[in-house]
Amino acid sequence: MKSSTECNAHIEQWCRSAVRLQCIRSYRAQHEAVPDLSEFEAHTGFFFILTYGEIGVRVSDEFVHCRSPYIFHGGEEKNTSFEVPDHHQEWAGYLVLYTALSASSEGHENLAHSYGFAPNAILPIQEKCEAMERHWNSNELLDRLQAQSIFLPLVYEVLSQKLQTLVNTESTKPNIVTEAIQYIQAHYRESITAEKLAGRYHCSTSYLSRLFRNQIGLGPIEYLIHERVHRAKQLLLNSDARIQDVASKVGYADVYYFSRLFKKHTGRSPLQFRAEHQQAAQVQNNPLCRLESSIVSLPFDSHNENESYYQWNEEGDTSMFRFSRPAFGAMMVLCTSLILSACQASHSTGGTAAQESASQTAATTASDSTVAETRIYKHLKGETAIPVHPQRVVSFFHLGELMALGVKPVGTTTYILDNPHISDKTGITDVGVPPDAEKILSLEPDLIVTTAAFAEAVEGGYDALKQIAPTIVVEQYNDPLKDVEMFGDILGKQEEAKQWKANFTAKIAEYKEKIKPYVKADETFSILNVRPDAVFVYGDTNMGGNILYKYLGLKPAAKVDSDVIHGDTWEISSEVIPDYIGDRLFLAVNKGAESKLKAMQKLIDASPAGKSGHVYSIDFDQFLPSDPVAVEKQLDIITELLIEKAQ
């Protein structure tokens, strides 16, 4: 078992199986023979708990070197053996054999998985083994029954520690996008391609692009371009370097190409950009002139994963600008407010009254701020004091989660704001992609919530964000149930989160019953996405896969289960498309991919889904998000498709 998902599936089979202890034996001597499974009656599986020393377990051609404390679980394989690496070394442990009756052959196979791990706490497991052996070796029937009653608590302790080990490993797993962003920021002057980046992180270019777009809404090369444009702007503003030298310093040998690219992303040539900044600097101290940062970004084009996701060259499209000194931006915003307030007061007929009113308002605000309750919240960057009930939240990634709890943020990123399932976006400011610190500052947030990747993408990173407002960095689960629970805690909306979970769980149960007359238990499902130059297969995270496989409990096609859900396959070639199509197919065709679909239509028609007429068209943009609001609407769409096509 390599993931918490697999471990939970294994635990589920334990819950569904009839299990009994078959035998327990302890080994506590230096020269005593190693366990020999052939001595025992037929069994379903075993646990070997190593409490002292070292021993090896060989399963077929695989050898596992166990160093105490260690727990190894094996199935009923005939070719399992134990070996002692050093016959002069003492070792000790327990062999616990059991039999289990599963409801299905699939469940039996899942229960028989071999795995091993070092437990966090061996003592409670060892104590249960000692008690279980003592009762098992008794001649009294009641003692034997007592041994049986201890077996399941032993299994619970083993599996709970195994699950916790996997969860801890997954939570500390390095984030590829975060590391790639840091690499780009450090090496933007060098020649960087998507292939080079993907090779650095041992993955395919399509997989890396998928991770980037899922976490920050931009592809890796798009982000590289924006990093270079940002660095070029800094050089233009802070030096008299020639344009050719600026281009060279940010990774472009061709100054003409650099100038065209710069104008495409800023709306001005490098020379115009510098001249405008110099002109703005001359009038900056004039209170009659509106203050404006010369590096505020232009409006960002709406992101759509249908566009430019397949660009693997050294260059890409889209615009991004980032503010480098949030503290300076804060000073500018404050100065602007003071100037405008002074002007309004001096020109007002009731100047004195207005000033008194303003003073009272300011005093009230200060008082409210002083008494605002805070609490300590533990997150990926440590511990931060946050408002108990935040009122002005900026959330870079989790928009649907907030909306599901009745909270409308004051700002979010372009990529997330494009969510087609959220209709009421009034009052939500687009802070750009990557997020613009100056825009965030102007929103006066009392809490900023970001993922690790977005925190890195902001100029100055997490340290710059926490100067603006209390900032927490949270996991990107892409699981509505986990996300809503997490944000219920963050926002002080625990009861609302519980209610949403209860309603969503009830809705799933209702929809399972609705589709039951129309879907056979052994039918398999697949999700394909056809793009102009590629075909992608989805697992159980988004594009409806979480709904089909996790919530409705429908069965994925065998190759989808092994290669996608439990593997790292995403992009597939045309010749293997039939291998991934099950009895029913959900098909998302992107704009411009009509010719690609036509080329593979015969393969779809010849598949089980094609022959039975069980091919369902879904909208790519509608099924891309995996937030609570989107998933609820996707659940409606999928259920309606399954029922309507069957009638």
Give residue-wise pLDDT tens across range 595-615. Answer: 999 999 999 999 999 999 999
| Bigger pLDDT: 102 vs 466 | 466
Sorting pLDDT into bands at 50, 70 and 90, what band is 4? confident
- The reported pLDDT for the residue numbered 492 is 93
CA-wise closest residue to 190 among 86, 314, 72: 314
Spell 528-562 as b/e; 16+ CB within 10 A means b: bbbbbebbbbbbbbbbbbbbbbbbbebbbbebbbe
- 73 strand-pairing partners: 47, 115
Spell 180-205 as b/e; 16+ CB within 10 A means b: bbebbbeebeeebbbeebbeeeebbb
CA-wise closest residue to 400 among 306, 480, 475, 506: 480
CA-wise closest residue to 219 among 309, 307, 314, 315: 309
CATH superfamily of 511-646: Nitrogenase molybdenum iron protein domain (3.40.50.1980)
- The reported pLDDT for the residue numbered 172 is 56
- The reported pLDDT for the residue numbered 465 is 93
DSSP state of 190: S
Within 10 angstroms of residue 639's Cβ, the number of other Cβ atoms is 20
Q: Is the peptide bond before 124 cis (omega within 30 degrees of 0)?
A: no
Task: Determine the average pLDDT of the residues in 91-96.
Answer: 89
| pLDDT > 90: percent of the chain | 43
Collapsing DSSP to helix, strand or coil, 442 comes out as: helix
For residue 314, pLDDT beyond 80: no
Collapsing DSSP to helix, strand or coil, 605 comes out as: helix
Q: In the CATH scheme, what is the code of domain 4-171?
A: 2.60.120.280
Q: How far is CA 158 from CA 115, 191, 237, 394, in A?
A: 12, 50, 61, 42
- The reported pLDDT for the residue numbered 647 is 65
Question: What is the rounded CA–CA span in Å between residue 443 and residue 296?
Answer: 15
Question: What is the rounded CA–CA span in Å between residue 531 and residue 528?
Answer: 10
DSSP structure string for 120-160: S--HHHHHHHHHHHHHHTSS-HHHHHHHHHHHHHHHHHHHH
DSSP structure string for 234-266: HHHHH----HHHHHHHTT-S-HHHHHHHHHHHH
CA-wise closest residue to 627 among 418, 501, 483, 414: 483
| Bigger pLDDT: 104 vs 240 | 240
| Bigger pLDDT: 89 vs 15 | 15
- The reported pLDDT for the residue numbered 49 is 93
Q: How far is CA 23 from CA 19, 116, 159, 493, in A?
A: 12, 20, 19, 50
- The reported pLDDT for the residue numbered 281 is 55
Question: What is the rounded CA–CA span in Å between residue 423 and residue 325?
Answer: 34
For residue 350, pLDDT beyond 80: no
Task: Say if CB 251 and CB 221 are below 8 A apart.
Answer: no
Question: What is the rounded CA–CA span in Å between residue 402 and residue 47?
Answer: 45
Alpha helices in 372-474 (DSSP H): 400-404, 414-417, 437-442, 452-457, 461-468
Give residue-wise pLDDT tens across range 5-32. Answer: 788 888 888 888 899 998 999 887 655 5
- 534 strand-pairing partners: 531
pTM: 0.58
| Bigger pLDDT: 20 vs 109 | 20
Torsion from C-alpha of 449, 453, 455, 461, nearest 10 degrees: 170
Q: Which two tokens stand for residue 17?
A: 């199986």
CATH superfamily of 176-282: Homeodomain-like (1.10.10.60)
**Are both 374-492 and 511-646 of the same fold?**
yes
CA-wise closest residue to 533 among 485, 571, 505: 571
Give residue-wise pLDDT tens across range 120-163. Answer: 888 889 999 999 999 999 989 999 999 999 999 999 999 999 98
Question: What is the rounded CA–CA span in Å between residue 276 and residue 260?
Answer: 18
Q: How far is CA 225 from CA 219, 351, 452, 569, in A?
A: 10, 51, 21, 28
Give residue-wise pLDDT tens across range 492-515. Answer: 999 999 999 999 999 999 999 999
Question: What is the rounded CA–CA span in Å between residue 551 and residue 430?
Answer: 32
Task: Determine the average pLDDT of the residues in 549-565.
Answer: 92
Q: Which region among 114-128, 203-217, 293-307, 590-604 has the lowest average model confidence (pLDDT)?
A: 293-307
Sorting pLDDT into bands at 50, 70 and 90, what band is 198? confident
CA-wise closest residue to 12 among 77, 97, 106, 75: 106
Q: How far is CA 643 from CA 329, 517, 604, 616, 639, in A?
A: 55, 9, 21, 11, 6
First-last CA distance in the chain: 41
Q: Which two tokens stand for residue 50?
A: 């190593």
For residue 218, pLDDT beyond 90: no
Q: Per-domain residue ranges for the chain?
A: 4-171, 176-282, 374-492, 511-646
Burial class (CB in 10 A: 0-12, 13-18, 19+), 225: buried
- The reported pLDDT for the residue numbered 173 is 57
Query: What sign for the dihedral angle of Cα 569, 571, 572, 578?
Result: positive
Backbone angles phi, psi at 233, to 5 degrees: -65, -40
H or E element at residue 111: helix 105-111
Question: What is the rounded CA–CA span in Å between residue 389 and residue 244?
Answer: 52
- Out of 169-183, 326-340, 571-585, give the one with best mean pLDDT: 571-585
Sorting pLDDT into bands at 50, 70 and 90, what band is 53? confident
CA-wise closest residue to 169 among 4, 7, 383, 1: 4
Q: Which two tokens stand for residue 354?
A: 């207005």
Close Cβ partners of 227 (under 8 Å, ≥ 6 residues apart): 184, 185, 188
Q: How far is CA 441 from CA 394, 433, 436, 545, in A?
A: 10, 15, 9, 38
Sorting pLDDT into bands at 50, 70 and 90, what band is 330? very low
Q: Which region among 44-53, 77-86, 310-319, 446-455 has the lowest average model confidence (pLDDT)?
A: 310-319
Q: Which region among 316-325, 352-361, 370-379 has the lowest average model confidence (pLDDT)?
A: 316-325
Collapsing DSSP to helix, strand or coil, 634 comes out as: helix
| pLDDT > 70: percent of the chain | 81
Close Cβ partners of 90 (under 8 Å, ≥ 6 residues apart): 29, 30, 52, 53
The third-level CATH classification (topology) of the domain covering 374-492 is: Rossmann fold (3.40.50)
Task: Determine the average pLDDT of the residues in 378-390.
Answer: 91
